[in-house]
Structure 1
Amino acid sequence: MTTDYLPIIFFLIALFYSSVGFGGGSSYLAILSLFLTEFYEIRSMALILNICVVSIGTFVFVKNRVFNLRQFWPFLISSIPLAYLGAQLRLSETTFFLILGSSLILSGLFLLLRYLKAKMESRQFSLPKKLSLGGSIGFLAGVSGIGGGIFLSPVLNLLNWSNTRMVAALASFFILVNSLAGLVGLTVAGTFQLNEKLILQLVIAVILGGCLGSYLSNKRFNLRFLGVLTAVLVTYVGLRLVLLHGLGVRI
């Protein structure tokens, strides 16, 4: 299949995901798996694209003073080493896509609930709770080959931790540091690979999409529609990965 239209598709994915504080790694994985045959090449490229998008988002959140490292560090300190370890696991392609797809289906449903439920009063978490959440989701991020913010954000919103913009800022930085840790893990394990012909085009596309999505997110526009659309997209991507790559069912 031709890859001529991939930059446009990836631009739109980066726009949707960055508008709610994500990087789009799950959808990059799903789409790249239709065009590329090298499993570790797909994982490596998805992480690179993730890093490009959430670097922009993190910068914009810091600039707009939404970023709060004192609140964020417990989630990060436990997630980074576990994301590194998770990325070094050598899973079969089938097992990888089953884990990723199942996680995305749950995350998509949680994300949809986030936008449908009534707003409740936010509350703070204890240090052990932050550490355990960060560590478990960081390990899943490393294993699945994405930053993990798409798992963390719906959980935090459903549990009413802080406000939605603070959660989006944490998710963006969480994805950044864990994608970097995962990239190091792939490199150490000797499984880091890139399609040099394609990666530059896609990097440019997701940077443009990430800039626009982060701008919309931090201008306090009503992003409910984009959020619901992203939730539906995440659920669909997860279902497709489970059926097509996990169970071998053509859809």
Structure 2
Amino acid sequence: MQFTLIVTLLIGFVSLLYSTAGQVGGTAFLAVMSFAGLSAEQMRPTALVLNVVAAGYATWRLHQQRKIEWNLLWQIAIPSMLTAFIGGLLAIGGSLYCIMTGTLLIAASFLMLLKRRVDNIKVRQVRLDRAALVGAVTGLLSGLTGIGGGVFLVPLILMLGWASPRQAAGLSPPFILCNSVLALAGVLLSGQSVNPEAVFYIFGAVLGAMLGTCIGLRWMTDRGTRYVLAIILLFAGVRLLLSQ
């Protein structure tokens, strides 16, 4: 029970940290569960459950504050949900999983740091076909990795000039929520199961999301949001690569 409490506290802490930047924490949830010794078959579905509850709360709060660009969200999320479900049905080996996900996260981190003018970005018009392609790719990665897709989506839409960092952070939780629900359905159909102690981890994830979302809405600037995102992505990517 004491070990479960420690894991719950760690999940709550990373959920708080990620929520300040509009993320949910799927990468860090996986890192914590790896530390806790969960089996590979339980890590992805458990991370997706945590994504659903944390992203659900963050989406509710962001909607109350009118921080979600719904028109852009649906253009990206609808195609992503189909590919997230397909990705959830597929199972990849642990080593390949960590290498693929870690490399993508590190690349995303450098994209965030190199985009110097993104803080004062002039938002461009979004083409429906490009939005659908971005959604489909990030949805597939979400289903394959169990991360949720927000860490892939945010750097992409910033690089394409579709949103400011704060607007992108507002899109991330509802996008993660949509993808994680469909990916979880695919994962469960593939035969993988959620860890029995997930109810404790859910409590930590929701509490962290509550605190982190409040901090992000009140005090985070565009530049601060971008730097926090970059640090989170870099840490998570290195952590996954070093786990090999």
TM-score, normalised relative to structure 2: 0.91
Aligned residues with identical type, % of pairs: 28
2 CA distance for matches of 1:56 and 1:128? Answer: 30
Give the structure 2 partner of residue 196 of structure 1: 196
Go from structure 1 to structure 2 and tell me whether the alpha carbon gap of 1:59 and 1:114 turns closer, same or farther (over 3 Å shift).
farther
2 CA distance for matches of 1:183 and 1:236? Answer: 25
Aligned 1:22-33 pairs, distance under 5 A: 22-33=23-34
Go from structure 1 to structure 2 and tell me whether the alpha carbon gap of 1:117 and 1:77 turns closer, same or farther (over 3 Å shift).
closer
What's the Cα RMSD here?
A: 2.1
Q: Is the 8 A contact 2:164 2:222 kept in 1?
A: no
Q: Alpha-carbon deviation of 1:223?
A: 6.7
Q: Give SS of 2:18's match.
A: helix
Query: In terms of mean alpha carbon deviation, does 159-168 or 20-29 score higher?
Result: 159-168
Q: How many residues align?
A: 243
Q: Alpha-carbon deviation of 1:62?
A: 1.0
Q: Is the 8 A contact 1:142 1:178 kept in 2?
A: yes
Give the structure 2 partner of residue 218 of structure 1: 217
Q: Give SS of 1:155's match.
A: helix
Structure 2 stretches lacking a partner, 5+ long:
none
Q: Is the 8 A contact 2:119 2:222 kept in 1?
A: no
Aligned 1:77-116 pairs, distance under 5 A: 77-114=78-115
Aligned 1:30-109 pairs, distance under 5 A: 30-109=31-110
Go from structure 1 to structure 2 and tell me whether the alpha carbon gap of 1:224 and 1:102 turns closer, same or farther (over 3 Å shift).
same
TM-score, normalised relative to structure 1: 0.88
Go from structure 1 to structure 2 and tell me whether the alpha carbon gap of 1:113 and 1:14 turns closer, same or farther (over 3 Å shift).
farther
Report the AA paired with residue 194 of structure 1: V
Aligned 1:142-181 pairs, distance under 5 A: 142-181=143-182
Q: Is the 8 A contact 1:36 1:42 kept in 2?
A: no
Give the structure 2 partner of residue 248 of structure 1: none
Query: In terms of mean alpha carbon deviation, does 112-121 or 177-186 score higher?
Result: 112-121
Structure showing the higher helix proportion among its residues: 2
Give the structure 2 partner of residue 249 of structure 1: none
